[in-house]
Structure 1
Amino acid sequence: MQRSRSKYFERNGKSYLLVELDQQPNLDHIETVSGSRDQLYLDWELADTRKARPQQRRLFFALLNDIADYFVVPQDFLKAMFYGQYREYTNGNEISLSDTTESSVSDANVLLDLVIDFMFTWRVPFKRGYEQLPREERYYMYQCCRHRVCCVCGKRAEIHHVTGSTIGIGGDRTKVDHTERYVMPLCHIHHMEVESIHEEAFGEKYHIPVTGIRLDEETLRKIGVRGNYRGETNGKPVNK
């Protein structure tokens, strides 16, 4: 992760974000990824430079306890492991969650994201589900989709299209652009239940958001949702 400073401005009716990098980017890597050294696409996030919050520290250690209980390993070992992952991810930056920390809210969220991603990858159960997470419910739902985990019970998930985004009986899902539809990750049992009692009752029963989220094409492909993306069907170009 490379740090930068940015300036927003408008000119001739268009909006621009000027980015000043702290270090020279690897142009060979940029060309390999984007096919050009002159133009590339960036994901960016507004940094919260406030001092890391005590609740972030409490969440970090609560999640470590979940992992320690699941794998029966010492919490100190896990703390050192994730601090090491943070250094590697941020190109050598250190982090602290102590009362005297100089780390920011955004820094702590990066660390928490590493822990949360580990828990989804290794199917470590969350003790209180999305209520524990440092971000909103949609982030939890996204991670559940990304790892094909049921947002209710943690079992292997199917992709449920919420009301208004359903495909219909007999519809061919491979001919649908799923980026335009709202989805939820549910195991087979909960998938059948939500379709029988409908989303509102389902959400009240399990205390989860049921509006669903939209996934980008890359995520949908990674989790194996076949559809018609950019003129493709079943992942293959359509003959024209």
Structure 2
Amino acid sequence: MFGRLQKVQGNKVEIELDDEFDFNKVERFANGKQPVVELNVNDGRTITPDQRKKIWALLNDFCRYTGYSLDEAEILFKSLTRSKYNIESFSLSNCSVTTGSLMIEAILEFLFDNDIPFQTKTWDAIPDWFPKQMLCIKKRLCVICGKPGADIAHVQTVGMGRNRAKINHTGMYIMSLCREHHTLQHTIGLATFMETFHIKPIKVTEEIAKELHLGKVKSHEE
């Protein structure tokens, strides 16, 4: 379980957990012995508790859909992450923040590629960070709700004197939105929309345009 340290007094600590604590379940796992907990405080150098929480949430979604056990899923996606990014073996207890981010990205891309659904709670817990935005644009999924068939939404107006069937996206700021959230963006205005959903549009470089095949694609007028 994960939580935030609230107070320390001598050898006693108070922690506010992110989820309800099932003490009966813990007692069953302890098999009649005094339950023991381990306290790890994030010091900014290794994988954060928030990253681990997101990884386990994603793995749970994968297991719920496929029938794999959590242990099997952890082994599978650690191996996938090592292979995909050419990194050494690692532990989720003390790997780097970078490695934690790479594993989240690897799991996300696998779930996207194989149409494995997310729980709403899991999707909401994943931050609107650059890799997630890139994956959503590539797979045409809404960055807010994960719905497929999303539009490429532009921060700038693209319809004034321009052929919208042949847009050069380089230098533009874009995000991937379903029709419902795309319409909401126009209704409440871009600034309010980004503040509400904590969205950070991606600036399209020549490399990103090439990677996401955004040279000349049909899009919707903003």
Quote the Cα distance in structure 2 between the aligned partners of 1:143 and 1:89.
15
**2:158 matched to which residue of 1?**
167
* In 1, Cα distance between equivalents of 2:128 and 2:194: 16
Structure 2 counterpart of 1:63 = 58
| SS class of match (2:71) | helix
The change in CA–CA distance for 1:169 and 1:69 in structure 2 (over 3 A counts) is farther
Which runs of no fewer than 5 residues in structure 2 stay unpaired?
Answer: 1-43
- The runs of 5 or more residues in structure 1 that have no matched partner are 1-48, 229-233, 235-240
> 1 or 2 for the larger relative contact order (CA 8 Å, sep ≥6)?
2
CA distance 1:169–1:193, change in 2 (3 Å): farther
Mark the CA change 1:51 to 1:137 in structure 2 (over 3 Å): closer, same or farther: closer
The corresponding residue for 2:143 is 151
Aligned pairs (5 A) from 1:170-209: 171-203=162-194, 207-209=196-198
SS in 2 for 1:178: coil
RMSD: 3.3
Distance, in Å, in 1 between the alignment partners of 2:188 and 2:50 is: 36
**Superposition deviation, residue 187 in structure 1:** 1.9
Q: Which residue of 1 aligns with 2:204?
A: 215
**1-structure distance, mates of 2:66, 2:161:** 44
Counterpart amino acid of residue 184 in structure 2: E
Q: CA deviation at 1:68?
A: 1.6
Deviation at 1:215, TM superposition (A): 2.2
Indicate which of 89, 92, 101 corresponds to 2:84: 89
Encode CA deviations 1:186-211: one digit per residue, 9 max, x unaligned: 1233323323443244446xx41355
Q: Return the TM-score normalized by structure 2.
A: 0.63
Q: What is residue 20 of structure 2 aligned with on the other side?
A: none
d(CA) in 1 for partners of 2:87, 2:153: 41
Contact 2:141 2:177 in 1 (8 A): yes
| Identity level (%) | 28
Partners of 1:146 and 1:187 in 2: how far apart? Answer: 14
User: Do the aligned residues in 1 keep the contact of 2:45 with 2:97 (CA within 8 Å)?
Assistant: yes
Q: Distance in 1 between matches of 2:76 and 2:213?
A: 31
What are the residue-to-residue correspondences of 1:81-120 with 2, within 5 Å? 81-89=76-84, 91=86, 93-98=88-93, 101=94, 103-120=95-112
Which residue in 1 is equivalent to 2:29? none
Q: How many residues align?
A: 174
> How far has the Cα of 1:175 moved from its partner?
4.9
Question: Residues of 2 paired with 1:173 and 1:110: CA distance?
Answer: 35
